[in-house]
Every structure is written in C-alpha cells, then in structure tokens.
Amino acid sequence: MSSNPTFKLISFSICPYVQRPRIVLLEKHIEHEIEYIDLQHPPVWFHEISPLEKVPVLVVNGEALFESMPISEYLDEITPGSLYPEDPFRKAQHRAWIEFGNDMLGQHFALASAKDEKEFKKARGTLAERLDTLEDVLGAGPYFAGKAFGMVDVVYAPLFRFTRELQRLIGVELVTDETPKVAAWAAQLLERPAVVAAVPASFSEDYVAFLRRLGGVASQRLA
C-alpha cells in the first residue's frame, strides 16, 4: 500500500452501516471522497466490488473492502489513537455491545416495516427492552465507556438518529426519561460534529421516503 492511500466510501444516504466508517473518517481526519449510489438501481460496477451487494464499501487505492466493522476498524488501526480499549477483555466486551447494537438496528427495521399494529408493538417493545438493558450497563458517561468517544459510540449514533427521527415524524417515543443515561448518551452522540456531518442534508427527507416505500404502520402514521 502506498504511503498516501486514497479513500472512497460507497454509500447510501440513510444507511446506518455506512455512517460507521464515515464517522471514523471524520473523527480521524482522514481525507476521503463519498459516492452515493441508488441501492434500488445499483450501478454495474457495484456488483463487482461488493460481494454481498451491500454498502458500505471502502475503495482504498482502487481496492475494495466491504462490511462496516472491518472497514471502520481498519481506518481506526491506520491512524493514531484507538477507538477501542487496549485491554483484550474490554475490547471483546465492546465488540459484544456492537453486536447488541446490530440487533437493535434489526429491531429498528422491524418497527419501520411492521405491517400491522401487533408487529409494530412487538418491535417497539423489544427496542424498549434493549434500551433498558443499555441503561443498566451505562456508566457516568458522557460516552459508552466514559470520557473517551469510541467504536461503540460510532455504532449507536446512527441508531439514535433513527429513534430521534421516529419520535419527530410519528411520535413514537423510544429514548425517554425512563432511561435517563441512554437519553443523555444519545443527546451527546447526536451533537458530536462527526456524527452530525455523517449523513447528507437530504437524510430526513430520504428517511421519510424509505418509510413510505416500506408501506407499513410507520408510513401510515406519517403526516
């Protein structure tokens, strides 16, 4: 690899997985380009560089890397400082909570796409349980592991962007005063400059279009 690699992130405007490497790129001041593609009509070249046909893909000096966590960890490793704790056990714990966050993103999709009230309530209930669990593991903050912003924060920021949008758009309250540590954590993450800048200006509009495309209960509740 050349000493000055070039980076291009292949993206989709509302994708929470794309936001992970984008946040790391911004946090670590790595120069990069972004190319947004239409996932419903992906360009032919995308099939060649994305074995699972998913974003994100990071093109490094013309070579493609897929999957959000390997990409984010790679970017973290090639720059000074680490978004993970040094201790292997703590690092493994952080990775486990990242997996918990992946599950929550799945529950967010279940909520956003629920076809009837029963499915909607079930997904909402599961998300509320997961938030209770997080409340129990969070410390004094402001971030997941205390004062330092880390990879777990990178992963949960896009999730909290969704919960904030759902509250604003359809009044579903997920992050509330009942989980005050989670609420403070979410607020802190959503104010962080790299998190704010991780999505395009069209994010809210694109999220509404996404909910409408899913055509579920959430879309019926939109104004």
Ligand X SMILES: N[C@@H](CCC(=O)N[C@@H](CS)C(=O)NCC(=O)O)C(=O)O
Among residues 26, 39, 169, 208, the one that binds ligand X under rule CB under 6 A: 39
Nearer CB in complex with ligand X: 33/53: 53
Show the site string, 95-114: x = touches ligand X by CB under 6 A, - = not: --------------------
Q: Is 151 in the site for ligand X (CB under 6 A)?
A: no
Region 60-89 residues binding ligand X, contact defined as CB under 6 A: 67-69
Q: Determine the Cα–Cα distance for residues 6 and 149; give it in Å rounded to an integer.
A: 25
**Minimum distance from residue 96 beta carbon to ligand X (Å):** 16
Any contact of residue 207 with ligand X (CB under 6 A)? no
Residue 60 Cα to chain centre, angstroms: 21
Residues 6+ apart with CB under 8 A from 30: 7, 24, 75, 79
Would you give the DSSP letter of residue 192? S
The answer to whether the CB of 19 falls within 8 A of the CB of 198 is yes
CA distance 173 to 48: 41
Residue 12 touches ligand X, criterion: CB under 6 A: yes
Residues linked to residue 146 through DSSP beta bridges, in sequence order: 143
**Among the listed residues 53, 63, 77, 99, the single contact to ligand X using CB under 6 A:** 53
Rule CB under 6 A: is residue 17 a binding residue for ligand X? Answer: yes
Question: Site residues (CB under 6 A) for ligand X?
Answer: 12, 15, 17, 39, 53-56, 67-69
